[in-house]
Amino acid sequence: MQEPLDLKQTINLPKTSFSMKANLPQNEPKWLARWTKENLYGQIRESRKDAPVFTLHDGPPYANGRIHLGTALNKILKDFIVKMKTLEGFNTPYVPGWDCHGLPIEINVDKELGPRKAQMSTVEVRRACRKFAEKFVDIQRQDFIRLGVLGEWENPYLTMGFEYEASIAEAFLAFLRGGYVYRGRKAVYWCIHCKTALAEAEVEYENDRSPSIYVRYPVTSDPAALDPALVDRKLWVVIWTTTPWTLPASMAVAFHPDFEYVVVGDDDPHGDAYIIESRRVGPVLEATGLNAPNILARLPAKGLEKIQVHHPFLDRAIVPVMANYVTAEDGTGIVHTAPGHGREDNQTGVQYGIDIYCPVDEAGKSSRACPSMWASVFSMRTSPSWNC
């Protein structure tokens, strides 16, 4: 009977004492201890002290919890670059840092404090936030070191460092003295729960069905000044909006400067007439059921800046404005403008010197709108209302 063939003996394999197993739980602490004892990072810096400098400015992670796959990947990729540039002959110091301010830390501290926060002063809450950040700076530092990232771990920059905060104040004062600082209003994303502004990157979107409505704004100036055919007519500007809740803050109606607008009405010489973009007449009449089959006048947009308009249900003059973001793809080719609600509206308000009015408080509630006003708005959400 033939002996079993030991295939391993038929291959010319190298003879080595290198272990086939990594044994990382045992070897990692040894490597880290050795690198620390021998000051590996310091040796690298010394060997490149006279070389051209390459600096990687590290956008810092938040000190609000343990590192995760995202923070680890970010730090490792940056470490690749620093070490690659070192091998290419550059002096590449790496100063890590942490962002110690903002909602990510405050929200976690709120969870830790719970009901106790209501009895704490602002200073005490800030101290709790600083203590929380210090804790996770130390935890994340050890985790990054364990990943093999080399850097000045004992001398990081912290945004809560007093010297760092002082440099920010100094830079702001330089802008202030140079005349680059002004006070104004701007539409920003707002978190009702946290009662603070949000960056665009912090906003999460989801699909939502929203009601759209047609609203008519009365023209209070003489319609005949636009065209003699409109004498004795009651003239209205018809807008279309998908955000009816912004109507209490409506301060203007916007036309596109390059569009042609028409006035439509019925056969009654003393009846109502409506300003609509010329291409939108058919869809608007069909959607609203208005009886306005006749084109009474054609108006260039620029001439509409001279008319006087009034709010549909508030005692407020409305400014006619020109805006390139108005479209004729849907609606009436005219939109209402609430500078306190939205970036484009805000820019138009600033351009025309309109009050940036926002009747909503930090909790997302109407602070200056009467209940009857909102009842008018909500009644329009189910069907077009021409009498509000």
Domain layout of the chain by residue ranges = 26-177, 213-379
- Convert the pLDDT of each residue in 115-169 to its tens digit: 999 999 999 999 999 999 999 999 999 999 999 999 999 999 999 999 999 999 9
Residue-level pLDDT at 233: 96
- Convert the pLDDT of each residue in 275-301 to its tens digit: 999 999 999 999 999 999 999 999 999
DSSP secondary structure letter of residue 223: G
Distance between CA 358 and CA 248 in Å, rounded? Answer: 9
Residue-level pLDDT at 381: 35
For 26-177, CATH number?
Answer: 3.40.50.620
Residue-level pLDDT at 368: 56
Question: Which CATH superfamily includes the segment(s) 213-379?
Answer: Valyl/Leucyl/Isoleucyl-tRNA synthetase, editing domain (3.90.740.10)
pLDDT along the chain (388 residues), means of 10: 78 82 88 95 96 94 94 96 97 96 89 94 96 97 96 95 95 97 84 83 84 95 96 97 94 97 96 97 96 96 94 97 96 96 93 91 67 43 36
Distance between CA 318 and CA 309 in Å, rounded? Answer: 5
Distance between CA 228 and CA 224 in Å, rounded? Answer: 5
Residue-level pLDDT at 99: 95
Q: Does the model's pTM come out above 0.85? A: no
Query: Do residues 66 and 30 make contact, with C-beta atoms less than 8 angstroms apart?
Result: no
- Convert the pLDDT of each residue in 84-130 to its tens digit: 999 999 999 999 999 998 888 998 999 999 999 999 999 999 999 99
Residue among 245, 234, 377, 242 nearest 312 (CA): 377
